[in-house]
Amino acid sequence: MTLTTRAAVLRASTDAHTFAELRPLSIEEVTLDGPGPGEVLVRIVAAGLCHSDLSVVNGDRPRPLPMVLGHEAAGVVEEVGAGVTDVAVGDRVVCSYVPSCGSCSDCAGGHPVRCADAQAANREARLVTGRRPFRDGTGAELQHHLGVSAFSELTVVSPRSLVPVPDEVPLDVAAVFGCAVLTGAGAVLNTAVVRPGEPVVVVGLGGVGLSAIMAASMAGAHPVIAVDTVESKLAQAREVGATHGVLAADDAAEKVRDLTGGGAAVAIEAAGHPTALSTAYAACRVGGRVVVAGLPHPRHTIDVPIAALVGEEKAILGSYMGSSVPRRDLPRFFDLYAGGLLRADALVTSRSVPLDDLNVALDRLHAGSEVRQIITPGA
């Protein structure tokens, strides 16, 4: 079965502005093959616009093109392929951008984000089944984005990319759980394993950083310090649990050390930029943990004095998707949201953005004036 859907297609990356004028994302009517064995057709209700999407558009995260973009989303199951028992037609689901095979040593060991099969599929811009089900108007194959391709009215995904959403969680909020919340809260709770009373600093206050602030506050960290280049984001961070806000500048690390009496026990880098990581490292105390959750350009590096790394016993920890197990972590995060403890709706700064306005939304994201804009492909 072949379906027709409107989708946002990126044909060439560009770092030139403005996106609203250049329109790197073309809104096209494309065809979509229905779900094959081990696949699921999902109607996308809400998709978050994330810096990872912007990084593909501007070339910081090179991907095979042309591609149907979008990786953070929630929707409703429309059809299931042969052999699928995890979800059923009508289920409300959130998408995870790292599917997993479920049987390799990493999956079996509780680290599905490291699944080699899933990483290969994402790197090669295909589903874990091997298919690329989108075609453009000429019949040419379109690449799949991180197993989701959410900027489309309809998409096909692996059932291992889906987690059910409780009825009490609106889908336009559930969407941000699939990336921002999993990554930010997971960096605090899974990777750093923050303990009550530990001072925490979060550098970079996008969706991931603000989620990390919320999780640090829930974990009983104190103080919880937010660092960003945008003053208004410091105010947002205070609203969701930060005790202090520090404007990113040359003396930001020194201010954090002053506020914490020597440095943070845990420093979360959530901006995906070398300068942010340098700030986080400098703001971390002797024996502390520096957690790197942001994804910069692959060529970016930092210099770390090896003698200081040894003598100060700092640990630098990578955190991909918050070291999460989506089927374990998302249900508990949804429960925390329903109980008013995890204010994920505070991440959503614009709702009901139609596909046709996606390039304008990219400009707002680039300018730093938005945290999460929710795209509604069917609008």
Question: What pLDDT does residue 282 have?
Answer: 96
pLDDT recorded at residue 284: 97
Specify the CATH number for the domain of residue 102: 3.90.180.10
- Give the Cα separation of 155 and 348 in Å (integer): 23
Per-residue pLDDT of the chain (379 residues; tens, 9 = 90+): 899 999 999 999 998 879 999 999 999 999 999 999 999 999 999 999 999 999 999 999 999 999 999 999 999 999 999 999 999 999 999 999 998 888 899 999 999 999 999 999 999 999 999 999 999 999 999 999 999 999 999 999 999 999 999 999 999 999 999 999 999 999 999 999 999 999 999 999 999 999 999 999 999 999 999 999 999 999 999 999 999 999 998 899 999 999 999 999 999 999 999 999 999 999 999 999 999 999 888 888 888 888 888 999 999 999 999 999 999 999 999 999 999 999 999 999 999 999 999 999 999 999 988 999 999 998 7
Q: What contacts 24+ positions apart, CB below 8 Å, involve 27-30?
A: 27/355, 27/356, 27/358, 28/136, 28/137, 29/4, 29/5, 29/137, 30/4, 30/5, 30/6, 30/68, 30/134, 30/135, 30/136, 30/137, 30/142, 30/152
Using an 8 Å Cβ cutoff, are 62 and 41 in contact? no
Same domain, 91 and 22: yes
Residue at 255 is within a domain: yes
**Of 41, 62, 66, 53, which Cα lies nearest the Cα of 142?**
66
- Do 77 and 41 touch, CB atoms closer than 8 A? yes
Strand 72-80, strand 92-95: pairing: antiparallel
Are 206 and 228 within one domain?
A: yes
Instruction: Provide the whole-model pTM.
Output: 0.95
Q: Nearest to residue 57, comparing CAs of 369, 367, 359?
A: 359
What CA–CA distances, in Å, run from 346 to 106, 122, 176, 213, 351? 33, 29, 10, 12, 12
Q: For residue 62, give its domain range.
A: 2-179+324-375
Q: 336 and 243, same structural domain?
A: no
Same-domain status, 83 and 215 = no
* Count of structural domains within the chain: 2
Q: Is 186 within a domain?
A: no
pLDDT value at residue 15: 87
Is-contact 33 2, C-beta < 8 A?
A: yes
Classify residue 313 as left (phi > 0), alpha (psi -120 to 50) or beta: left
- Of 188, 193, 184, residue with least CA distance to 347: 184
148 and 206 co-located in one domain: no
Question: Within this chain, do residues 113 and 215 fall inside the same structural domain, yes or no?
Answer: no
Same domain, 313 and 334: no
In a domain, 135, yes or no: yes
Do 227 and 135 belong together in one domain?
Answer: no
Q: At 274, phi and psi to the nearest 5?
A: -60, -35
Residue 185, domain member (yes or no): no
Q: What's the confidence (pLDDT) of residue 20?
A: 93
List the CATH number of the domain containing 237: 3.40.50.720
Does residue 254 sit in the same domain as residue 345?
A: no
Say if 187 falls within a structural domain: no
**pLDDT confidence of residue 17:** 78
